[in-house]
Structure formats: structure tokens, C-alpha cells
Amino acid sequence: MAQERRFRLESRIAHAGVGQDPLYGSIAVPVYQAVTYQHPGAALGPFDYSRTANPTRRSAEEALGALEGGAGASLFSSGMAAITALFHLLASGDHIILTQDLYGGTYRVLHDVFAPLGLLADFVDTTDPEAVRRALRPTTRLVFVETPSNPLLRVSPLAQLAGLAHEAGALLAVDNTFMTFARQRPLEHGADVVIYSATKYLAGHNDVLAGLLVAGTAELHERVAAIANATGGVLAPWDSFLLLRGLKTLALRLDRAEHNAGRVAESLLGHPAVSQVFYPQEPMLSAAAFVLHASQARGPGAMVAFSLRDPDAVARLMDGLQLIVPAVSLGGVESLITHPYSETHREFPEERRRELGFVPGLMRLSVGIEDADDLCEDLKEALDRL
């Protein structure tokens, strides 16, 4: 008998969920819009109650877990619900080290929800392993990293951080929202957990809010699944369907968005209204950071940040754009522009924002799949008018 072939990632992404309908063989995963399931006898069947498990959600979890190369995956009703479940693995008195320039909501949930419950958090420069080593305490249980970070796209060394975390008896979790498993595979660099706002590239169409947590071991997956069941912030069947449907074009979308982002970043570099461009590619990244990124990721992704010379020009820039839409969020097919200082990162105290470089003139672009010339022209025309 011929040996079963293992297909490449792009093929496996396109086939996510295929073969999951035992009844009719439908290619699209059916939406099991059902909460409770008839017991086949005195014992329970494979499904019992949809908070615990739902067939549509299960199909999406199995597909995503396999694509990430993890031992198990859990889907949540948002990225923040997934991050919350991760923090629920910890107990009062435990200490977490996090990337200092990370998504503002992660900062907010720690500050507003978990700090009062006794979790201690230090936000450090995780691009510098020595800074992480200095921040470690006997009670450190988790190192939580975004690389490239949000919004400044700074690169942290995954394998080195995994080594440091493990030496200290802590887990390494990576928020891989910006890169996805199609570009960066943290478990292969020693991470224990990969976490996502699946709202972004994985779903890809700005129409579903979802979170994903992939665990590297079956034991960790079981603990997370128990937390998901106990706390209940799980993904609904229809949203699981939408996520799977969007996921199938991930590789295509990313290729196109990344191509566009490279063009946009280059076009911004030379513009007199722009003082700095952030993109994980030379010359926007230092040679050393670029080598590091290239050693752990397969491409620069499609997020670009840039600073306006005149910080008072933000509103005029937004108003001047005709194609790129001023809106929060990222990773969808439409290009969006965000002002981190007043939007995604406003949760950070003012002084801290300035310290970290989230200055009033900083803009963040999520580059979509439109025509690259249209995007560059839209930006140029709006910048020329400032």
C-alpha cells in the first residue's frame, strides 16, 4: 500500500476541516447549531453540551492545532478570552514577564483584572535576554512574548527566551497574531503555548471575533480545555464555521498582503512627511534584528508602522485617505490604519507610552490585499497634502 503523503502547509491550510462530516461527506464543515446532545444510552456520547465541546468548534480546533503543530487547541470567543484562560493557569503570587510593547488589551487585563487577584507582572524589553534574566524571580511561572511586537515590530529571540523560561521553571507563551503559523512556528523554537487573536489573519475578513490557544503538550491542553469549560468563553458554532472558512485562504492572503506591505514600507521610507518606518526588513530593522527575525520567521508579515514628522497631522492624514480605512484591528483583507497612541495602546499610562515610543505621531498600518499601487498612491496623496 502506498505510504500516506504529508502535504505542505499551504495544501493543509486549504484543506482545513475537510473530511470532518461522517454523515454526508460535506466538504465545508457543517454548523452544529446545537447546545445539547442526546445520550446514546445510559452513557454520554462524544458530545454532551456545547460549552464543553461542539462538533463545529472541535473541527476548527483540530485543524488549527494540527496546522500549528501542537498537542491540542482551544477556541475562545475572542483573543482576550484566550489570553485570560492562559492567565487562569496561574495562581495568586505567581509572576509573569511580558514584552513591554505589546497589545494594550493584554496590559489592561493584567492591570485591571489579574493584578487585584494577586498576579504580579513585569513588562520588560524581551528583545534583550539579559533583561529577561534579570527580571526572573523564583515565582516566575510565565514569559509572554509578542514578536514582532505591537506596534513597533521589535524582534525577541524565541529559542533563547524558551531556554531562560524553562531554566526558571516557567512556560513560554507567544502571541503569534501578527505572523501566524504560516510565517512563524513558536513551538519549534521551544515555546509551550501559542496564542492568537484569531479575529485577525486566521479568520481574515473582519467579520468574526475569535481567540485561539494551542498547547505544546497534551497535559497543558487538558488544563486549558478544563479552564475553557469552567469559565465558558468558548467560540460559538457559527463563528467557528466562519473562522474555518476564512482560514482556508490564509496562505494566499498573507502572500499578497506581505508583498503589498513591502511596497508600502518602501514607499513610506522616502517620504518627507515620515521620519521613521518600522517593518521587519532591512533597512527598517537593524541587521542583527533582521538576522534574528529571519532565523525564526519565514517573512516580514504585513504590519507596518511609521512616524509622522508632525504629530499634529494625524487627523489630517486619516481624513486624506480614500482607500485605507481608519479603524482598529488588523489582519483582514482591507487595509486599515490605526493611531496606537489614542487607540490600541491607550491603556498604557501616558508616561509609559512615550517611554516605549508609542508617541502621538506613530501610525500603524495593517496592509491588506488590495492593489499595491493603489495603496502606495493613496498614502502618498494623503501624505503630500499634510
Q: Does 240 bind ligand PLP (CB under 6 A)?
A: no
Q: Which is nearer to ligand PLP, 10 or 343 (CB)?
A: 343
Smallest distance, ligand PLP to C-beta of residue 356, A: 15
β-strand pairing of 303-308 with 325-326:
unpaired
Q: Does 103 bind ligand PLP (CB under 6 A)?
A: yes
Segment interacting with ligand PLP, rule: CB under 6 A, options 58-66, 77-85, 130-138, 236-244: 77-85
Separation of alpha carbons 109 and 71, rounded Å = 27
Q: Which is nearer to ligand PLP, 78 or 307 (CB)?
A: 78
- Half-sphere exposure (Cβ direction) of 67: Cα atoms closer than 13 Å: 28
Per-residue binding letters, 8-47, with ligand PLP (x by CB under 6 A):
----------------------------------------
Q: Does 74 bind ligand PLP (CB under 6 A)?
A: no
Separation of alpha carbons 69 and 3, rounded Å = 21
Q: Which is nearer to ligand PLP, 55 or 241 (CB)?
A: 241
Q: Which is nearer to ligand PLP, 261 or 273 (CB)?
A: 261
- Half-sphere exposure (Cβ direction) of 289: Cα atoms closer than 13 Å: 21
Separation of alpha carbons 334 and 328, rounded Å = 12
What positions carry a catalytic annotation?
51, 103, 175, 200
Helix (H) or strand (E) holding 247: helix 237-247
Taking residue 146's Cβ as centre, other Cβ atoms within 10 Å add up to 25
CB-nearest residue to ligand PLP = 79
Find where cell 480614500 sits: 322
Q: Does 150 bind ligand PLP (CB under 6 A)?
A: yes
Q: Does 211 bind ligand PLP (CB under 6 A)?
A: yes
Beta-bridge partner residues of 195:
175, 213
Position 334, amino acid:
E
What are the residues binding ligand PLP (CB under 6 A)?
78-80, 103, 105, 146, 150, 175, 177, 197, 199, 209, 211, 329
